[in-house]
Structure 1
């Protein structure tokens, strides 16, 4: 829908998902699979943590919160994207578009902080196992989750103020699969560079959590290499020396892989436009979609279903058979 050069009030946006018609059927099927796996995996994680009191510990509070965020994120995005591709239901009311944009950015920001809290949790559990119960409690975890939401809310307040300042005199068509701040800025008539600079500023802020995550996991890997005796490794990781190293590095690799899948595409997509480097619509869409909808599907597999306690709790839920409880020291150092 093209508009005249005069600035008028925008009552709706038109989403135009830049996907080739021959690829639409495959994309819809892929989105449906991703959403079903996301629903099943994250709902199962939430249910198991709620029903098994042994899992109601700081680490699993973080995992449960991550599952809630992932569930909300993909529910906010995928059904609308599928409807857009299937039925071309592209017009979105102005207010609904802003709500979707707010949720996307807010949930992604909180998830970024959650990854940081989880990395710090594992750092304390491995490096300071004896002090873990005193340093990491339910109160500190919930305080961290609350602080993450407050910081994200402050950042999103700036975004929402900036969006309401934008004027649209040329078009209200957003060449994207969901309502996105950067796309709104690019199609608007507002030339002030402060609106694009916000993207690079926010991406720069995101580098802070990523740095903490990498440093935490580096310290954990260094600690695994420093422990010389097989008995020492057995006490920390509950496995033999060689198996201990292999398990630690496998876990660290998979965790970092998911985080890079989350951080790297978003950083590229948001920093480059702020630096004046234009991405094609297809490239931008692909980067943002991959970073937004794939991690919520993979997080339960990486953070939950590989965990021994979680696997035992799931078996108990479906079979009714009780599993032997693990020792507290093993539980708190479990990845």
Structure 2
């Protein structure tokens, strides 16, 4: 337990990591390093392919590059510190760095949910209004939609995180987590009433920015499915739906990981399970997104083969 007799502001937070896995720090380091490298390589390949290949200069893939950039930033917020914790036992994090990490983690989480809404709107316009699609989804509109998603999402967590930083903490506060998650830091504060209020406020905002975008995505796909069913040709229906499958799988993965974290939070489970559920949420979607789009999207798959394989292994020229 934290020594909450001090009224001074906290100077440091101490991250416990996985309490039951203290004897497996090196294996944890290797596993998370591998995950981080896969996330970086996969998302960088997606960005490079979309930028280089002219056939991918479409709104759908512009938003995909935004998602890849987001996934790189999102994992870079937490994993490097976790790697240092596992490798050299660097479990101390300063007060200001902790809240900066908290802001980046939650701000980028909200950004991803908003980008998924923008991507579903793009698919809605492409399938439900195909004749007006080139006029509506211009380059200027695409930039405006993605900019709004980033800016609004990054503004939303500021009030709650600022209020959390004003709570009273011990001079050296123990946080039962691998990184500075809002709930874990609030539970480490000294005031029970203020902590409960911040927990409720943070949880309410988290549910709003999760359920609201999910409803918009669901509404978009209801209209999309209705439009696809009206297509007479079976080939046409299959082709129309195939453009949505990658995005649907990404949405399913994202909200499934949120559901796991929520169930873990509500259930009376060991600390390691709570921590692991949040870590899975922080890693799973960025890890799977490039794989999903590479395997499920024919245009991306062909572009990866053309750009990556042919650039690295160009065909031999006859002398």
Corresponding residue of 1:286: 276
Corresponding residue of 2:254: 259
Matched residue SS, 2:157: helix
**Cα offset, 1:105, TM superposition:** 0.7
**Cα offset, 1:50, TM superposition:** 1.9
Matched residue SS, 2:178: coil
Corresponding residue of 2:15: 15
Where in structure 2 are there 5+ consecutive unaligned residues? 315-319
Q: 1:255 to 1:73 in 2, by over 3 A?
A: closer
Corresponding residue of 1:37: 38
Where in structure 1 are there 5+ consecutive unaligned residues? 239-243, 323-335
Alignment of 1:235-314 (within 5 A): 237-238=238-239, 247=242, 251=246, 254-268=249-263, 272=266, 280-314=270-304
Is 255-264 or 199-208 further displaced after alignment?
Answer: 255-264
d(CA) in 1 for partners of 2:92, 2:36 = 22
Aligned length: 308
Alignment of 1:314-325 (within 5 A): 314-317=304-307, 318-319=309-310
Matched residue SS, 2:63: helix
Q: 1:253 to 1:120 in 2, by over 3 A?
A: closer
Which of the pair has the greater relative contact order for Cα pairs under 8 Å at 6+ separation? 2
Q: 1:279 to 1:187 in 2, by over 3 A?
A: farther
Q: Of 218, 222, 229, which residue of structure 2 is paired with 1:225?
A: 229
Matched residue SS, 1:163: helix
**Cα offset, 1:163, TM superposition:** 2.0
d(CA) in 1 for partners of 2:27, 2:221 = 37
With the length of structure 2 as denominator, give the TM-score of the two structures. 0.86
**Cα offset, 1:171, TM superposition:** 5.5
d(CA) in 1 for partners of 2:261, 2:40 = 23
Corresponding residue of 1:198: 201
Matched residue SS, 2:161: helix
Corresponding residue of 1:138: 139
d(CA) in 2 for partners of 1:6, 1:79 = 31
d(CA) in 2 for partners of 1:88, 1:142 = 42
- Are the equivalent residues in 1 in contact too, given 2:250–2:285 (CA < 8 A)? no
Alignment of 1:60-209 (within 5 A): 60-169=61-170, 172-190=173-191, 191-192=193-194, 193-205=196-208, 206-209=210-213
d(CA) in 1 for partners of 2:17, 2:54 = 44
Q: 1:250 to 1:51 in 2, by over 3 A?
A: closer
**Cα offset, 1:139, TM superposition:** 1.7
d(CA) in 2 for partners of 1:49, 1:5 = 55
- Are the equivalent residues in 1 in contact too, given 2:110–2:154 (CA < 8 A)? no
- Are the equivalent residues in 2 in contact too, given 1:10–1:172 (CA < 8 A)? yes
**Cα offset, 1:278, TM superposition:** 5.9
Q: 1:187 to 1:170 in 2, by over 3 A?
A: farther
Corresponding residue of 1:328: none
**Cα offset, 1:4, TM superposition:** 5.1
- Are the equivalent residues in 1 in contact too, given 2:11–2:172 (CA < 8 A)? no
- Are the equivalent residues in 2 in contact too, given 1:170–1:189 (CA < 8 A)? no
